[in-house]
Amino acid sequence: MELNDAIKDRKSIRKFSGKKPDWRDIIEAIHSAQYAPMAGGLFHMKFLIVDDERLINEIANWSEQSFISEAKYVVVAVSDEGIVTTPFPKNGAHFSTQQAGAAIENFLLSLTDFGLSTCWVGHMNEEKIRKLLKIPEDYTIEALFPIGYANEKGKMKKPKADIYNILYFNEWGNDRMRKIEKIDSRAPEGY
Ligand SMILES: Cc1cc2nc3c(=O)[nH]c(=O)nc-3n(C[C@H](O)[C@H](O)[C@H](O)COP(=O)(O)O)c2cc1C
């Protein structure tokens, strides 16, 4: 799949078919996360693949989101903030969250490329899930990803903002963008 197609095709799916994904595809998608930019080139994440039905049901329960229990796999993305705050004491906490997002987006796009679907789940009882999966205290649970094949269309994809409202040239509030009549996937003329 072309990168631009994957970016535009990715969408949150909360209904899965009964078909079990190939776990090797999930591992490949996690591998893609390892190519994300990281401050100081330090990879600070770990991932747990949960395929035990009992644990998946518990995760659904502690996230208060029953659709999770339909998934055959749940990936838990975890950050070790200390890896980033040690070399970057001032900005490390901020960097840690930012680079987790970058790694996760790689993971999501790679899943899309494999024809797999998921939904980023941030709402959870972190302490209960930490205890359930024996995740050490010094790791941050970034999000959960129930994975399967889509059994719904998902929301129609469109950009989440109007490009004319979020982009300025040179100076905040500059209206040059408003003068560009039509924007497509190419850069505006002259850029
Ligand atoms: C940080 C974060 C937390 C989220 N947490 C949840 C969640 O707990 N449950 C859920 O159903 N969706 C969750 N989502 C998914 C968003 O609802 C979803 O991305 C949004 O509705 C846009 O839809 P799309 O992913 O199809 O573009 C979360 C997304 C992000 C980025």
Determine the Cα–Cα distance for residues 119 and 155; give it in Å rounded to an integer. 12
Fold adopted by 3-148: NADH Oxidase (3.40.109)
- Nearest-atom number in ligand 1 for the CA of 124 is 8
Closest Cα partner for 138 from 95, 102, 86?
86
Determine the Cα–Cα distance for residues 91 and 57; give it in Å rounded to an integer. 37
Nearest CA to ligand 1 atom 15: 120
Nearest CA to ligand 1 atom 23: 12
User: Is a pLDDT exceeding 60 seen at residue 125?
Assistant: yes
Per the prediction, the chain carries an average pLDDT of 93
- Domain boundaries for CATH 3.40.109.10 within the chain: 3-148
Q: If you measure from the C-alpha of residue 171 to the centroid of ligand 1, how many angstroms do you get, rounded to a whole number?
A: 32
Query: pLDDT tens digits, residue range 44-98?
Result: 999 999 999 999 999 999 999 999 999 999 999 999 999 999 999 999 999 999 9
Closest Cα partner for 33 from 88, 108, 96?
108
Query: pLDDT tens digits, residue range 4-59?
Result: 999 999 999 999 999 999 999 999 999 999 999 999 999 999 999 999 999 999 99
Assess whether the C-beta atom of 155 lies below 6 angstroms from ligand 1: yes
Instruction: Name the amino acid, one letter, at 95.
Output: F
- Burial of residue 59 (number of CB atoms within 10 Å: 0-12, 13-18, 19+): buried
Q: Which residue has 């994904």 as its token pair? A: 21
When comparing pLDDT for 149 and 173, which is higher? 149
Q: Which two tokens stand for residue 44?
A: 């600070």
This prediction has a pTM of 0.94
Instruction: Name the amino acid, one letter, at 113.
Output: D
